[in-house]
């Protein structure tokens, strides 16, 4: 095994870390969950992936492996999940419908489940025109909702979309994305309802920088009873500077950053530190909103900040243990049982 992967067990871990169903178990137990996005490398070196996973796994219940987000090519979600499951991590396989048809995707779902991937995030995916290869041929044979129901059928009915039987169905926990912060706002909770109806069990949202907008969205979600039908993890991430925030607002589709946030960054002496603090402040407010089950941290090129953000936000209080504490607790339990 790779040296970095082999060493990860020596680092502080969360209880039950080496379990593919950890995210689902944490959510079902009512604990506030944390997931984080791994920035896929532009490299064929597995160390790049293991290095990031090592940092994220200290504070996360699952690590998301993105699928060419922004329609830019990087190491594939499937490749990252293969590396992560081999090292004992619990990843979320992201599947975008932009690049593969139903034949390829259903095969990937079986392959991923066979490798030990338990979580799948079903996405329509960003259009090719948003990426750095706008001439690429878009597929979109399925979209997020038809993908959800296709995988649910594979899992619950043991059938491919064709109706052909699957001898061992994939044991998967199904997720989808939501964007409460992009118009048309009234339509967003209805889109969420459709995804739940199609099989979504957990939701990871786009970045939240506007807490009032999230409160309004969650109010409608609760009125519709949707928070009782799926687990909602709200997307958060540190902004590196006011300049970066302005760029993201202008260029990343669907990301809404209010003027007040940009002004707070611009007025700070250390903008990077302020960006981190804004993220921590948001997490503290998000966790108080009824119906929210966790946060999803997307720290693009700032994954080294994730541990500090999560720890300072206090959301994992009483949840973090380290491997040695766990081992000694087990030894004490065993000794008590014998005596
Ligand atoms: C947590 C998260 C992770 C992501 N990861 C990836 C990734 O790995 N790869 C990637 O390519 N993209 C990724 N994205 C981007 C995502 O694919 C786009 O933001 C997409 O536009 C919305 O998510 P979706 O794919 O589930 O689209 P859907 O909700 O299925 O919608 C597809 C598009 O159609 C629009 N639409 C459909 N019907 C209507 C209507 N009636 N009125 C108005 N608009 C309509 C939607 O607004 C959206 O733009 C991610 C987004 C999030 C929030």
Q: Taken in order 49, 52, 55, 57, is the CA torsion positive or negative?
A: negative
Q: What is the pLDDT of residue 335?
A: 59
Task: Flag whether pLDDT at 320 surpasses 90.
Answer: no
Strand pairing partners for 121?
94, 175
Q: What is the pTM of this model?
A: 0.90
Domain boundaries, the chain: 3-238+290-334
Q: Residue 254 CA: which ligand 1 atom is closest?
A: 19
Q: To the nearest whole number, what is the mean pLDDT of the chain? A: 90
Task: Flag whether pLDDT at 47 surpasses 90.
Answer: yes
Task: Flag whether pLDDT at 96 surpasses 70.
Answer: yes
Query: Measured between alpha carbons, how far is 243 from 266 in angstroms, rounded to an integer?
Result: 8
**C-beta of 123 in contact with ligand 1 (< 6 A):** yes
Query: Measured between alpha carbons, how far is 187 from 63 in angstroms, rounded to an integer?
Result: 29
Which residues are CB-contacts of 13 (< 8 A; sequence separation ≥ 6)?
A: 57, 58, 321, 322, 323, 326
Taking the centre of ligand 1 as the mean of its atom positions, its distance from the CA of residue 52, in whole angstroms, is 25
Which residues are CB-contacts of 183 (< 8 A; sequence separation ≥ 6)?
A: none
Taking the centre of ligand 1 as the mean of its atom positions, its distance from the CA of residue 124, in whole angstroms, is 6
CATH class for the domain made up of 3-238+290-334: alpha beta
Percent of the chain with pLDDT over 70: 88
Using only C-alpha atoms, the chain has a radius of gyration, in whole angstroms, of 20
Query: Measured between alpha carbons, how far is 247 from 251 in angstroms, rounded to an integer?
Result: 6
**C-beta of 144 in contact with ligand 1 (< 6 A):** yes
């Amino acid at each position: 095994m790779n040296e970095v992967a082999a060493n990860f067990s020596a680092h502080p871990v969360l209880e039950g870390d080496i379990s593919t169903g950890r995210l689902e178990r944490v959510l079902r137990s009512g604990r506030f969950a944390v997931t984080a996005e791994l920035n896929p490398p532009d490299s064929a070196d597995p160390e790049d992936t293991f290095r990031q996973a090592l940092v994220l796994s200290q504070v996360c219940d699952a690590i998301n492996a993105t699928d060419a987000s922004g329609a830019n090519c990087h190491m594939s979600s499937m490749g990252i999940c293969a590396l992560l499951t081999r090292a004992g991590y619990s990843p979320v396989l992201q599947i975008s419908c932009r690049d593969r048809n139903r034949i390829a995707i259903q095969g990937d779902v079986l392959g991923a489940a066979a490798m030990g991937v338990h979580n799948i995030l079903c996405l329509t995916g960003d259009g090719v025109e948003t990426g750095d290869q706008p001439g690429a041929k878009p597929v979109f044979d399925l979209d997020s909702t038809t993908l959800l129901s296709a995988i649910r059928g594979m899992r619950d009915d043991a059938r491919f979309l064709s109706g052909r039987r699957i001898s061992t169905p994939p044991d998967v926990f199904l997720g989808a994305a939501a964007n409460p912060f992009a118009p048309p706002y009234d339509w967003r909770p209805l889109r969420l309802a459709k995804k739940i109806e199609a099989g979504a069990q957990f939701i990871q949202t786009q970045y939240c920088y506007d807490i009032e907008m999230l409160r309004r969205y969650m109010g409608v979600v609760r009125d519709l009873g949707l928070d009782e039908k799926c687990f909602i993890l709200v997307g958060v991430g540190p902004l590196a500077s006011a300049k970066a925030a302005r760029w993201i607002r202008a260029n990343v589709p669907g990301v809404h950053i209010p003027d007040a946030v940009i002004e707070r960054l611009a007025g700070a002496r250390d903008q990077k530190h302020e960006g981190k603090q804004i993220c921590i402040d948001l997490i503290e407010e998000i966790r108080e909103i009824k119906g929210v089950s966790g946060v999803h941290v997307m720290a693009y090129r700032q994954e080294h900040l994730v541990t500090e953000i999560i720890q300072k936000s206090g959301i994992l209080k009483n949840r973090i243990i380290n491997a040695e504490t766990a081992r000694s607790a087990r030894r004490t339990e065993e000794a008590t049982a014998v005596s």
